[in-house]
Chain A
Amino acid sequence: MKCSTEAVALMHKYLDDELTKDEEKTLRDHLHKCERCQKHFHELKRTIAMVQSTNQVQAPQGFAQNVMQNLPSEKKSYSYKRWFKSHPMLTAAAIFFILMFGSVFSMWNQDQHLSVSKQKDIIIQDNTVIVPEGKTVEGDLVVKNGNLRIDGKVNGDVVLINGDNLKASAGEVTGDLSQVNQVFDWIWYKMKTTVKDVFSMKEEK
């Protein structure tokens, strides 16, 4: 066997883990006989060990952050999505408020016709709700998109939404008399009644 070519080729095959059993035996037999090849083989293995012994270097501090800063900006839509994912409670609250205010606003805008809470003894004339003289309305009175004239008596609260109170002095209201003319008043009123309803429902249970 020629040392320079065949044996060295076998050595490299050995280092690549690709020797067959026969080749391994051939190489081993040769190394026993040939001192020069033994030395060569030893040097090769030592070289590899030395290369492998070099310290594993580590990326500098803040490397990942620097990379992130150098990336082209991502699609906007995704950053919103991620924000929503990481703040589920806030997202739920935001959606709730959007829907709530949305419905309240649309109710405010759509409801342009006159409406009155159903009670006996109430007269509706044109755009005016009249509580006639000498009559008593039991319970709360709610008038929406219309004016109210109280000549008689209301045994409860009076709420006027988007309308004027005409001559209330002539009549008598045992509860509160409140007027709602602005969207925000309306929202506030809605919220108050919703909360009240919720609590009264609980009490009923």
Chain B
Amino acid sequence: MDLFIKEKIKKVKKGDQSAFEEVVTFYQNKVYQICFRMLGNAHEAEDIAQEAFVRAYTNIHSFDENRKFSTWLYRIATNLSIDRIRKKKPDYFLDAEVKGTEGLTMYSQISADQALPEEEVESLELQEYIHKEILSLPAKYRSVIVLRYIDELSLQEISDILDIPVGTVKTRIHRGREALRKKLRHV
């Protein structure tokens, strides 16, 4: 798969725009996932994920082919997400109630496409809760927890993505884990 992506990147560098579509298709879920867990809002996540790909495309010449493309791409996505968190007002989270619809959240709108059995609703509620707790972490802990446990990346990769030493990654993961433990231990 790495080879496949490498070939595509080479083509994109030569100016073949259509080759980029396959790159997008390949990474879209991963990138969107990072943005969604960082921002907690489907609309914003889509926005930032889109921008991440556009930036990757326009800056493709600064990408060193000897390195992993995913690391470089995730780095763009996390940086954009962190920037957005800094700028945004904390007014509309997924779990915020939609106006005029009591108890209905954006989250339930997203997943309301089909009727769900009861246990799935329960697990969805739990997931919403976990998602919300991850979102309540400070951005610097949130990013490492998301990359480590949702995207399942190695400490080294996280260090490359965030451009911080592995030691700092470890410290942040430790603190993030402890913070989450306190939030989730009563569930």
Residues of A within 8 A of B (CB): 8, 12, 15-16, 40, 43-44, 46-48, 50-60, 63-68, 70-72, 74-75, 77-79, 82
Contact = CB atoms under 8 A, between A and B. Distances in A.
Interface stretch (B12-20, B68-76, B80-88, B97-105): B12-20
Nearest to B53: A67
B32 A43 contact: no
Interface centre among A15, A40, A67, by most chain B C-beta atoms within 10 angstroms, is A67
A59 B174 CA distance: 29
DSSP majority for the B interface? helix
B149 A52 contact: yes
Contact of B181 (A47, A59, A64, A74): A47
B184 A46 contact: yes
B145 to A, nearest CB: 7
30 contacts: A12-B170, A16-B155, A40-B181, A44-B177, A44-B178, A44-B181, A47-B181, A48-B177, A50-B126, A51-B130, A51-B150, A52-B149, A52-B150, A54-B130, A55-B127, A59-B46, A60-B46, A63-B32, A64-B21, A64-B24, A67-B21, A68-B17, A68-B21, A68-B24, A70-B54, A71-B20, A71-B58, A75-B15, A78-B14, A78-B17
A121 B96 CA distance: 105
A44 B183 CA distance: 11
B131 interface: yes
A55 B111 CA distance: 12
Nearest to B54: A70
Contacts of B149: 48, 51-52
Nearest to A77: B15
A66 B21 CA distance: 10
A71 B17 contact: yes
Interface of B: 14-18, 20-21, 24-25, 28-29, 31-33, 36-37, 42, 46, 49-50, 53-54, 57-58, 126-127, 130-131, 134, 145, 149-150, 155, 170, 173-174, 177-178, 180-181, 184-185, 187
Contact of A71 (B25, B31, B54, B155): B54
B36 A57 contact: yes
Given A51-B145, A71-B17, A58 B32 contact: yes
B184 A60 contact: no
Interface centre among A51, A55, A66, A82, by most chain B C-beta atoms within 10 angstroms, is A51
Among all A-B residue pairs, the 5 with the closest Cβ atoms: A59-B32, A74-B17, A59-B28, A78-B15, A64-B24
A50 B187 contact: yes
Contacts of A59: 28-29, 31-32, 46, 49
Nearest to B42: A60
A72 B58 contact: yes
A47 B126 CA distance: 12
